[in-house]
Amino acid sequence: MQGNFLTAVFLPLALFIIMLGMGLSLTIEDFRRVVIYPKSVVIGLVAQLIMLPIVGFGIASLFPIEPALAVGIMILVACPGGPTSNMITFLAGGDVALSVTLTAVSSLITVFTIPVVVNFAMKTFLATGTTLQLPFINTAVQIALITLLPISIGMFINRYAPRIAAKADNPVKWLSLFFLALVITGVLLQERDNFISYVIEVGWVTLVLNVLTMALGFTIATLTQLGEKSAIAITVEVGIQSGTLAIAIAASPTFLNNPRMAIPAAIYSLLMFVTGIGFASWVSRKQKIISK
């Protein structure tokens, strides 16, 4: 798979399908829950949109990784959750409605916060005098087009053709996983000459990021007494990010056009399934023990 085809054509198409699939399961009610259940939503958004970038910056600053990979870490933590977080929340027995709401609302907000976080990261980690940056307005518009537009189309189909949405939901989800796997494979193949060294350098860093943010999300939700189901949802939302969007921002010619910055998101996207399913299994065993 040629690099220019991957980043210029296939990657935006993959992201469009993934976001369309997410929209097929969303309704207006998912946004109204912000008013109905404000405490859970606000705490979840604060953890995801404020705590997560702070933790990501701390990890990228403390661990000895090259600047482009440090920026890649920050791109990842700037992104919202995705359909995967909703699926893992379901498997863990968490509050799926809260998970979906957090994903939907954070997808709206991060349209504007991503360029701020990423530009800050590039100024901090890249060489002094670098001209690489994301223009705020253009970036916000472009992210909205590749995320909010397909989500809106999916919601429109769900609203006015619910039978079609119901039939298409599962096939689109599986197609989304297939596209995600191809995108990750393509990015890693582009950097295959340095793949082993990248895994050694940044693989364990992304694992620390994933596990630490999930632990912090669970701690915050527990301390604020949101209830077990809400705590599970927030844990997953904080710990599972949209790797496809992060890869698109890093590698696509529309944005940064730097495949190396996409490496953390590619490796993270593989690890998050392992840690997410591991968390779901742990919660399931814990609930069985309590019920006995």
Neighbours of 275 (CB within 10 A): 18
Percent of the chain with pLDDT over 90: 24
Q: How many residues does the chain have?
A: 292
Residue entry with tokens 């943010």: 213
Residue 19: what pLDDT?
Answer: 85
pLDDT band at 101 (very low <50, low <70, confident <90, very high): confident
pLDDT at residue 265 tops 50:
yes
| Domain extents in the chain | 1-280
Residues 145-160 have a mean pLDDT of 88
Start-to-end CA distance of the chain, whole Å, equals 52
pLDDT band at 281 (very low <50, low <70, confident <90, very high): confident
pLDDT band at 289 (very low <50, low <70, confident <90, very high): low
pLDDT at residue 149 tops 70:
yes
**Token couple for 279:** 């968390």
User: How many whole angstroms separate alpha carbon 208 and alpha carbon 141?
Assistant: 32
User: How many whole angstroms separate alpha carbon 69 and alpha carbon 265?
Assistant: 10
User: How many whole angstroms separate alpha carbon 7 and alpha carbon 224?
Assistant: 42
Nearest to 264 by CA among 179, 207, 189: 207
Is pLDDT larger for residue 54 or for residue 282?
A: 54
Nearest to 165 by CA among 21, 274, 14, 8: 21
Across the chain, mean pLDDT equals 84
Residue 291: what pLDDT?
Answer: 59
pLDDT at residue 42 tops 70:
yes
pLDDT at residue 119 tops 70:
yes
Residues 113-133 have a mean pLDDT of 82
Quick: pLDDT tens for 43-79: 999 999 999 999 999 999 998 888 999 999 999 999 9
Burial call 62-95: b when 16+ CB within 10 Å, e when fewer: ebebebbbbbbbbbbbbbbbbbbbbbbbbbbebb
Query: Which one of 3.40.47.10, 3.30.310.50, 1.20.1530.20, 1.10.3720.10 gives the CATH number of domain 1-280?
Result: 1.20.1530.20
Quick: pLDDT tens for 196-254: 777 788 889 999 999 999 999 889 988 988 888 899 999 999 988 888 889 889 888 88
Residue 132: what pLDDT?
Answer: 63
pLDDT band at 1 (very low <50, low <70, confident <90, very high): very low
Q: The pTM is what?
A: 0.86
User: How many whole angstroms separate alpha carbon 94 and alpha carbon 218?
Assistant: 12
Report the amino acid identity of residue 16.
F
User: How many whole angstroms separate alpha carbon 200 and alpha carbon 19?
Assistant: 31
Identify the sign of the CA torsion 97, 248, 46, 277: positive
Residues 21-25 have a mean pLDDT of 84
**Token couple for 130:** 């670098």
